[in-house]
Amino acid sequence: MIKTQKLLTVAGLAVLCAMATTPSFAQKKSDKKTPPATAATTPPAAAAKKEGIRPYSEIITNKAKSKKGLFNTHKVDDKWYFEIPDSVLNREMLVVTRLAKVPAGVKVGNQQYGGEQLNEQVWQWERRGKQVFIRVPSYSIKADKGTDMYESVKNSNLSSILASFDIKAYNKDTTGIVIDVTDFYNGDVMAIGATDALRKAYKTTTYDATRSYLDTIKTFPINIEVVTAKTYRSVESPIDNSIGAITFEFNTSMLLLPKTPVKARLMDARVGYFGQRQTDFGTDAQKAEQTAYIHRWNLVPKDTAAYMRGELVDPVKPIVIYIDPATPKKWVPYLIAGINDWQVAFQAAGFKNAIVGKEAPTPQQDPEFSVDDSRYSVVRYFASDIPNAYGPHVSDPRTGQILETHIGWYHNVMNLLRNWFFVQTAAINPEARKAKFSDNQMGELIRFVSSHEIGHTLGLPHNFGSSYAYPVDSLRSKTFTDKYATAPSIMDYARFNYVAQPGDNVSKMFPSIGEYDKWAVKWGYSWFPGNLTAQQEKAKLDAWVKEKAGNPLYFYGRQGNQYDPRDQSEDLGDNAMKASTYGIANLKRILPNIEKWTFEAGKDYSNLGELYSEVIGQFNRYMGHVTFNIGGLSENFKTYDQAGAVYKYVSEATQKEAVAFLNQQLFTSPLWLMNSEQLNKFDNGSLLTRIKSVQTGTINNIFTSSRLLRMLDNETKNGASAYTIPELFTDVRGTIFAATRPDAFKRNLQRGYIDRLGSLMVDAPAPTGLPPGFSFTPINVGVTDIRPLVRAELKTLVATSKARAAAGDAMTKAHYEDLAVRINDILEPKK
């Protein structure tokens, strides 16, 4: 996703199979004495009659509208039937349910527009006697056939039953069975209907079958697409509560998974890929070993001999991504260009024409094409005011093989791009000094975002550490940026070049497919000849990784790292203080000119207000980038055969540089943000509060318990070379409590500082159960050295406040008297 979200959403990960159970749809119980039937034991017509199963012609009458495909489907009056061949019974099928159509105004994250995914499972259609069951297998634990643990794992991993059906008939040549699926698809089954989040959001009470229907079932060679409309009685509605209900249209895709799963590629923490983890009991390890496989498309060279000679070769099956027919025509070429940009990365893996963007065929060209058909990957265009886009993918839970993608593209992402591009480049770029960009400029920005989202659909997560590879001053060089852009990876959140200054003549403003992207695709998609195991491939790939170790161009910095200053979103260069100083210089050039650069006759000042607010937001980002260095800890994953530390603290000099920057740029009142001439046009008194919140928010960020604990750990391990908490208090206090008359900003800042210290003096239970990948350290401040140091700092401040309350004007006196009372209340809380 292009906007940081708790997405992430990741922003794009395949969900492992849900273990849901629902009431049976069968009308009769199965005879327990009847053994499971197989293709070899399918009863002939005479035996079927004895079992009470009707002749095929009585069920599939001459009224039937029939289609051939994965399952032959039949519609007879208002009933729908599946004719399931014995050959696909017990085969694994990936089932994905998406919204097809929704009412206006639905507001549930990533569940509000046609095309957005709701659920993903694997189904197995299993016959037992006179019934058929849908089983939902789990892949959280495994052991390969032939291993000692195979039977034990089978006994501990029973597949849940989602639904059951009576067999209505055998097909004409008795090689398959016929079941009625009408009530199943038209029923209230969460796996193929509204999610729990949607139900809770609109307070649904019951499912209303009288206002629901099974619309269409389309069958194709390897998939079946089912469209249903489902109505739920609800207390709330996104559009009209008087209706007392909410209706959604769903598309459920069932895709036959490969009979023989493709070979999985093992993950490596040093190369960024989405993936899935399993507990593998079949290894030779003397424990329950966790294995993880990357998500990737299955690319195999057409000409393996040419591939091995080092020639670029077409894949047997390329990745084809279609553009939604609902997309405005002028943006289609740019979205396609963003897809095709990845061809250069696949060349590094030995493939040409490996990925292709195409316009969706018209109904005249292909009447069977549907954007909901699981055989096709599509960029879905949403008529939405959400400023975002995201690139998910659907993968085989057995191996990580990516099967298809439905990329979400929100119309209002253009407004987000306009705002970012303006506040980050307008100081040096005349093309950004407009209320509305040219179609070509906006198209190039769309192409940039398209490339980023396509990277996710190829299995690549965000690489927040990539932009750190470039020295800050290199971003001021036209020669350097023309060749290398602003980061080695388009998967970083390295936005636009806010470092370059007027006169640098820099014209390359944002990343493109870079050196890291080519390397990551080479690592993940290169094809190896021979029947190598995943472990044998891993040995080759590990050697590749070690060749690049230590080179920042190939560094992968994971999203979610809360302590490595290299792994940040929206930042540029290898020194946040230097880059942010350049960025602020540009903001100071932009802010006085917003009104002039966005002038539109007859329009109100909403654009001025929006972009002014974006300037403050950008300023706040710079503060966050710098703060990361305080108590910072670098993370470089390594294996036993690689020398050097995995974790290393940021130097004392760099941490002090970060505090000095904050003292100068933020804790000294940033009065330049208060342009009264422009504020008088749109601000009703709220902007001052927002600027104050940047100050207090940064204070809260600096003095988190986890950051302070790392500083204590650093001092314990590294002694005099560490930057300590007392040093931090002294350095910050010197500016926040400087011996001058405090203005409104400084008074607010001083209160915020004391309030934050006060929060560290309050007992709170230590958090538990947090996964280590989220970088949160469970802490009970009361048993650390943090609280004694905070208490000492508060005692220093209470003395300062009492002394200053004795002098000064009325406002200053009242302020410091108040601070003294606040501190006393913290140190001596009332019972």
Residue 324 falls inside a structural domain: no
H helices of 737-778, where?
744-759
Around 108, how many Cα atoms within 13 Å sit in the side-chain half-sphere? Answer: 22
Q: What is the distance between the alpha carbons of residues 202 and 196, in angstroms, rounded to a whole number?
A: 10
Place of tokens 């399918």: 42
Q: What is the distance between the alpha carbons of residues 83 and 63, in angstroms, rounded to a whole number?
A: 16
**Which tokens go with 686?**
């709220």
Question: pLDDT-based confidence at 154, cuts 50/70/90?
Answer: low
CB 663 within 8 A of CB 734: yes
CB 820 within 8 A of CB 801: yes
Q: What is the distance between the alpha carbons of residues 131 and 29, in angstroms, rounded to a whole number?
A: 8
17 against 750, higher pLDDT: 750
Q: What is the distance between the alpha carbons of residues 162 and 143, in angstroms, rounded to a whole number?
A: 24
CB 138 within 8 A of CB 157: yes
Question: pLDDT digits over 201-230, tens only?
Answer: 888 889 999 999 999 999 988 999 999 999
The pLDDT of residue 584: 98
Question: pLDDT digits over 296-318, tens only?
Answer: 999 999 999 999 999 999 999 99
Q: What is the distance between the alpha carbons of residues 328 and 746, in angstroms, rounded to a whole number?
A: 50
Q: What percent of the chain has pLDDT over 70?
A: 86
CB 111 within 8 A of CB 98: no
Q: What is the distance between the alpha carbons of residues 142 and 139, in angstroms, rounded to a whole number?
A: 7
Residue 737 falls inside a structural domain: no
Whether pLDDT at 29 is above 80: no
Residue 86 falls inside a structural domain: yes
CB 253 within 8 A of CB 372: yes
Least reliable range by pLDDT among 179-183, 235-239, 660-664, 697-701: 235-239
Question: pLDDT-based confidence at 49, cuts 50/70/90?
Answer: low
Whether pLDDT at 276 is above 90: no
The pLDDT of residue 764: 56
Q: How many CB atoms lie within 10 A of CB 277?
A: 12
Whether pLDDT at 139 is above 60: yes
The pLDDT of residue 368: 83
Question: pLDDT digits over 74-127, tens only?
Answer: 999 999 999 999 999 999 999 999 888 877 766 666 665 667 888 888 999 999
Question: pLDDT digits over 169-194, tens only?
Answer: 998 887 899 999 999 999 999 999 98
Whether pLDDT at 462 is above 70: yes
Q: What is the distance between the alpha carbons of residues 758 and 756, in angstroms, rounded to a whole number?
A: 5
Whether pLDDT at 506 is above 80: yes
Return the closest-CA partner of residue 525 out of 256, 341, 261, 263: 263
Question: pLDDT-based confidence at 645, cuts 50/70/90?
Answer: very high
Q: What is the distance between the alpha carbons of residues 467 and 634, in angstroms, rounded to a whole number?
A: 15
The pLDDT of residue 255: 93
Whether pLDDT at 262 is above 50: yes
CB 821 within 8 A of CB 794: no
Query: For the chain, what is the total number of helices (H) and then of strands (E)?
Result: 24, 24
CA angle 138, 142, 147 (to 5 degrees): 150
The pLDDT of residue 308: 95
Q: Which helix (H) or strand (E) holds 119?
A: strand 117-128
Full DSSP string of 772-809: GGG-PPP--GGGSSHHHHHHHHHHHHHHHHHHHHTSS-
Full DSSP string of 240-259: -GGG-EEEEEEEEEEEEPPS
Mean pLDDT of the chain: 87
The pLDDT of residue 699: 96
561 against 668, higher pLDDT: 668
**Which tokens go with 658?**
């970060």
Domain count, the chain: 1
Distances from the Cα of 594 to the Cα of 50, 663, 674, 675, 689, angstroms: 84, 27, 13, 11, 21
The pLDDT of residue 46: 55
Q: Which domain holds residue 181?
A: 42-56+64-256
Q: What is the distance between the alpha carbons of residues 791 and 698, in angstroms, rounded to a whole number?
A: 21
* DSSP category for residue 89: T
Q: Is the dihedral of CA 379, 384, 389, 393 positive or negative?
A: negative
**Which tokens go with 634?**
């670098």
Give residue 822's identity as a one-letter amino acid code.
Answer: R
The pLDDT of residue 36: 44
Residue 758 falls inside a structural domain: no
CA angle 682, 687, 689 (to 5 degrees): 155
Residue 761 falls inside a structural domain: no
Going by C-beta distance under 8 Å and a sequence separation of 6 or more, which residues neighbour residue 40? none
Q: How many CB atoms lie within 10 A of CB 709?
A: 18
Long-range contacts of 314-317 (CB under 8 A, 24+ apart): 314/351, 314/352, 314/353, 314/354, 315/351, 315/353, 315/354
pTM: 0.85
The pLDDT of residue 30: 39
The pLDDT of residue 44: 56
The pLDDT of residue 768: 40
Distances from the Cα of 86 to the Cα of 45, 61, 171, 448, 740, angstroms: 16, 22, 10, 48, 86
Q: Residue 118: which region, alpha, beta or left (left: phi > 0; alpha: psi -120 to 50)?
A: alpha
Residue 734 falls inside a structural domain: no
Question: pLDDT digits over 249-259, tens only?
Answer: 999 999 999 99
Q: Is the dihedral of CA 483, 484, 489, 490 positive or negative?
A: negative
Place of tokens 């739920």: 232
Label residues 249-263 b or e (16+ Cβ within 10 Å = b): bbbbbbbbbeeeeee
Distances from the Cα of 822 to the Cα of 391, 735, 781, 797, angstroms: 49, 20, 21, 11
Pairing of strands 160-170, 141-142: unpaired
Report the chain's C-alpha Rg in angstroms: 31
Q: What percent of the chain has pLDDT over 90?
A: 67
Helices 576-590 & 606-627 angle (0-180, nearest 10): 160
The pLDDT of residue 180: 96
Q: What is the distance between the alpha carbons of residues 591 and 584, in angstroms, rounded to a whole number?
A: 10
Question: pLDDT digits over 72-88, tens only?
Answer: 999 999 999 999 999 99
Return the closest-CA partner of residue 181 out of 222, 135, 133, 220: 133
The pLDDT of residue 21: 32
Q: What is the distance between the alpha carbons of residues 601 and 176, in angstroms, rounded to a whole number?
A: 71
The pLDDT of residue 780: 80
Question: pLDDT digits over 756-790, tens only?
Answer: 999 999 865 444 444 444 444 557 888 889 999 99
Going by C-beta distance under 8 Å and a sequence separation of 6 or more, which residues neighbour residue 496? 420, 421, 424, 425, 486, 509, 510
Least reliable range by pLDDT among 17-26, 426-435, 565-574, 713-722: 17-26
